[in-house]
Structure formats: structure tokens, C-alpha cells
Amino acid sequence: MIENKSPPFFITFEGGEGVGKTTQITRLSKFLSKLSVGHIVTREPGGSKTAEIIREILVNGDPDQWDSKTELLLHFAARRDHLARKIKPALDDGLWVLCDRFVDSTYAYQGYGHGIATTLIDNLYSFVADEVFPDLTFILDLSPEKGIERTKKRSLANKEALLEDRYEKMEIAFHKRIRDGFKEIALADSERCVLIDASLGEEEIYNNIVSLVSAKCLEITT
């Protein structure tokens, strides 16, 4: 018998470009479905109708088309709509939420990457979040060089990925700062965050994730 230990759970997947978040979140969703655990899968930026419109202008185009403050505010505008229209209603209905990126990406990309003060991000999140925060976060770690190489291969097979390349086109130093940022986030909040070596095989990463979710969020009895 499968029971939630304390439903519902809000689980996020984080990391730089090409680390394999989408693959793992899809596999975890299938695992939960087999156990009849009600859940939704969503993403940021985006996730709700209006947030997806904002996503289009954030992930496409030239890397320098927004200054860092404009970019930050666009992310939070999308996040507010996403939280209000999709994440919070799902949690209120007792559904788990699996989200491909959330606020840790803002700290890593806009904070560590672009140099925006953490305190400003803190204040904006407090303003939009209505006290909603992830229960468990998987941070997939991979060298930026390998990650960007993966995204280029993915783009050849996926038209949407080919278009959504604004961040991938930013300088490698930016991506190295992002990686360092995610590592610091994981270290500072080790109770919530799990740092996973994304250079491992897909199956090994999946097994690690399932084991941790089972231990932290599910009670399996016979």
C-alpha cells in the first residue's frame, strides 16, 4: 500500500542548461502515476496561460535584449500568475506538484549569473509567493561545457528547443557562475536540496531520485 507521509508535496528540479531535468521529471511523473499519486507537472518560466506568453519573450531572442532588472521582473510576473493559477490551486486540491525550475533558478541565473542582490530576490519572492515554497528540490549538476553541448544536440531533434536558446547563447562565464550558484544554494539549504551528479547515467540518476522521493515523501507498506 502506498500512502503520502504528509500530502501534498511540491518538488522542483533545478540546474543549468542541458542537465536532464525534463527527462527526470517525466520519469518521476510516470513513477507516481503507477502508484496512483495525484500530481501535476509544470514548468518555469511558464506553466499557466499568461506565464507561457511571458516565457516566449524570456527564452527567445538575443541574450542582451533585456537588462537584468527587466528580466528579473518578467520572471516574477510569470511566477505570480503560475503560482496563483496553477501551483497553489493544485496543492490546495491535495495534488503533488512537480515543477521544472522554480525560484532557485532565479537566484542562480539572475542572482549569481547577473549579479542581482539576493535580498531583492528574497523580497520579490515574499511578495508573490503566498508562503508557497518547495518541499524537496533536486539540483542536477553538470559542467556548463557538457550541458551546452547537450542542448545543441537536443536542438537538432527538437524545434522548440532550437528556438528557446536565449540563455544558451550567453557567455560560458555566465553559466559557470550559475553552476557555482546552484552549488551554494544546495549547501545552504541541505535539508531541502539534493545535489545530483548529472554526468551519471540516466537510469542511475532516476533510481537516486525515486529512492529519495520514496524515503522523504511516501510510506510504502504491505
pLDDT digits (tens, 9 = 90+) for 171-209: 999 999 999 999 999 999 999 999 999 999 999 999 999
How open is the CA angle 147-110-173, to the nearest 5 degrees? 45
Per-residue pLDDT, averaged over 145-150, amounts to: 89
- In this predicted model, which residue has the larger pLDDT, 1 or 84? 84
Single-letter code of the amino acid located at 209:
I
Alpha-carbon distance values, 37 to 30, 124, 164, 206 (Å): 10, 32, 32, 18
Q: Write phi, then psi, for 42 (nearest 5 degrees).
A: -145, -175
Instruction: State yes or no: pLDDT of 3 exceeds 90.
Output: no
Say what the pLDDT of residue 7 is.
Answer: 72
Lowest mean per-residue pLDDT among 10-14, 41-45, 86-90, 155-159:
155-159
The pLDDT value given to residue 168: 84
Q: What is the percent of the chain with per-residue pLDDT over 90, rounded to a whole number?
A: 80
Least confident of 8-17, 44-53, 158-167: 158-167
CATH number of this structure's domain 2-220? 3.40.50.300
In this predicted structure, the answer to whether residue 167 has a pLDDT above a threshold of 90 is no
What rounded mean pLDDT belongs to the chain? 91
Question: How many Cα neighbours within 13 Å face the side chain of 22?
Answer: 8
Which residues have CB under 8 Å from 63's CB, separation 6+?
Answer: 166, 167, 169, 170
Give residue 36's pLDDT. Answer: 93
